[in-house]
A and B are shown apart, each in its own frame.
Chain A
Amino acid sequence: GESVGLHLPTLSVQEGDNSIINCAYSNSASDYFIWYKQESGKGPQFIIDIRSNMDKRQGQRVTVLLNKTVKHLSLQIAATQPGDSAVYFCAEEAGNQFYFGTGTSLTVIP
């Protein structure tokens, strides 16, 4: 899984399978969490967010889970498609403090 650190984990999944990307955050005061997707040559693109008063939120084919007890965030992508291949970042906010993880590279195998 990913942490706000210096390495870039990689994940390879078969097209059609579900993907789970993990993120460990460090600031217990963070109250807002966001997942971004970054494709080559582009800026990070907002996927889904969750506030700290929730533990699960669903979007179209994506679900974010938040476990504040262990400071863990995950992004689940259902029925992964080749277009999902990208680097995924988690981000956290605590008031006016903003933190980004280093990202996880997802490769979808056709």
Chain B
Amino acid sequence: DAGVIQSPRHEVTEMGQEVTLRCKPISGHDYLFWYRQTMMRGLELLIYFNNNVPIDDSGMPEDRFSAKMPNASFSTLKIQPSEPRDSAVYFCASREDSSNQPQHFGDGTRLSIL
């Protein structure tokens, strides 16, 4: 079975540029999560969706960050404008829509803002 697919795997760009990260969840999963991982702060939940609707975006650091889920098989996390402190690994995860189910993670996008 295909797992959660993220693209790109690596992104290097200059500060001020727009960055778009993409995620395809596991088919049939109704929850989708975006996380950021850094050495300093560990794994931070940014936002999650249920049935394509954003449920909790309290972890989104600033207005420069936005996430969308136009359909059940695709989500984007956008940073505009990007800053060096946004450098991190960004993970997407999905989960079935029932209680007590684990999240399944993609392999992440390693983002470097110069």
Binding site for B on A (CB under 8 A): 6, 8, 31-32, 34, 36, 41-46, 49, 51, 89, 91, 93, 96, 98, 100-103
Known contacts A49-B102, A98-B33, A98-B45; A43 and B40 CB within 8 A of each other: no
Instruction: Decide if the interface of chain B is mainly helix, strand, loop or mixed.
Output: strand
Binding site for A on B (CB under 8 A): 4, 33, 35, 40-43, 45, 48, 55-56, 91, 93, 99-100, 102-108
Known contacts A6-B41, A32-B100, A51-B100; A96 and B55 CB within 8 A of each other: yes
Contacts of B103 in A (CB 8 A): 34, 46, 91, 98
Contacts of B107 in A (CB 8 A): 41-43
- Cα of A94 to Cα of B33 in the assembled complex, Å: 16
**What are 24 A-B residue pairs whose CB atoms fall within 8 Å in the complex?**
A6-B40, A6-B42, A8-B42, A34-B102, A34-B103, A41-B107, A42-B107, A43-B4, A43-B105, A44-B43, A44-B91, A44-B93, A46-B102, A49-B100, A49-B102, A93-B100, A96-B55, A96-B56, A98-B33, A98-B45, A100-B35, A102-B42, A102-B43, A103-B42
